[in-house]
Amino acid sequence: MANPSNVDLVYPPVIGAGHALFRALGLRLCVEGDHHIPRTGPVVLASNHVSFLDFALVGLMARRSRRYVRFLARHDVWHHPLAAPLMRGMRHIPVDRTVPAAAYLRARAILRSGEAVGVFPESGVSTSYTIRALMPGAVALAAETRAPLVPMAIWGPQRIYTAGRPRDLTRGRPVTLRAGEPIDVPRSVDVRAETARLGERLQVLLDDLQRRPRHQPAPGQPAPWHPAHLGGQAPPPAVARLSESVPRTSVPPSWLAPEQP
């Protein structure tokens, strides 16, 4: 894969290990809309977040364009003795919620050097499997650097490894990733209003994936991994919000009550 700046020595073997894991799990992967990722120049990928595998899977969206994605991730990962060297080697970006400006400035510099940055604007796994309140950083980065903002949805890995549920390593789970049309975000944009619109776009993409036959529970099968509004037993958004940690600066989509932090 081409990289506009440094030679990547860590990313390729990590990708290889990820692919080996996906093969071991027998994932039935489907990637759609990857032609929306430009082959060169800055781009911001903004994805929903349903599992602890999303970090590895969302990077597949840039495989066609032969890009490496530098992800914003919780700074706790950099404290892990095994993960920390890999995160540094892949030049991902640690985010400390108490001082988020540092991550923003680093992501901005990476975009200005012509690279791809990946963001999970929900800032955590949505346990209702609907789009929860979003942090405005993805929109702000796209506006300031004039990088296209590519919304995308992922669905399926929540059945394997997600928040509040035991791991299920059953082989052959379907996983679908879909990127939408790039968004041109002008410098003069109202960042909070555009972030709310991004949430709406993400929900439309996610809804499409969740309704597909390949992702439906079997008749009579308990489905705590499927959203309540589509017949699953996941907690509805109002209930999920009671236990989720959402930053107060986040922007709720229009369907959430205004008291959402």
Domain extent listing, the chain: 27-213+224-240
* pLDDT tens column, 170-203: 999 999 999 999 999 999 999 999 999 999 999 9
pTM above 0.75, yes or no: yes
Residue 146 CA, chain-centre distance (Å), reads: 20
Using CA atoms, how far apart are residues 229 and 251, in angstroms rounded to an integer?
22
* pLDDT tens column, 66-121: 999 999 998 988 988 888 999 999 999 999 888 889 999 999 999 999 999 999 99
* pLDDT tens column, 128-149: 999 999 999 999 999 999 999 9
Check residue 5 and give its pLDDT.
46
Check residue 1 and give its pLDDT.
45
Using CA atoms, how far apart are residues 42 and 83, in angstroms rounded to an integer?
26
Check residue 253 and give its pLDDT.
79
Q: Is the pLDDT of residue 260 over 50?
A: no
Using CA atoms, how far apart are residues 4 and 41, in angstroms rounded to an integer?
8
Alpha-helical (H) ranges within 42-172 are 54-58, 83-89, 101-112, 137-145
Rg of the chain over CA atoms, in angstroms?
A: 17
Mean pLDDT of 37-57: 96
Check residue 257 and give its pLDDT.
52
Q: Is the pLDDT of residue 29 over 80?
A: yes
According to CATH, what is the number of the domain 27-213+224-240?
3.40.1130.10
Average pLDDT, the chain: 93
Q: What is the DSSP string of 170-209?
A: -TT-EEEEEE---B---TT--HHHHHHHHHHHHHHHHHHH
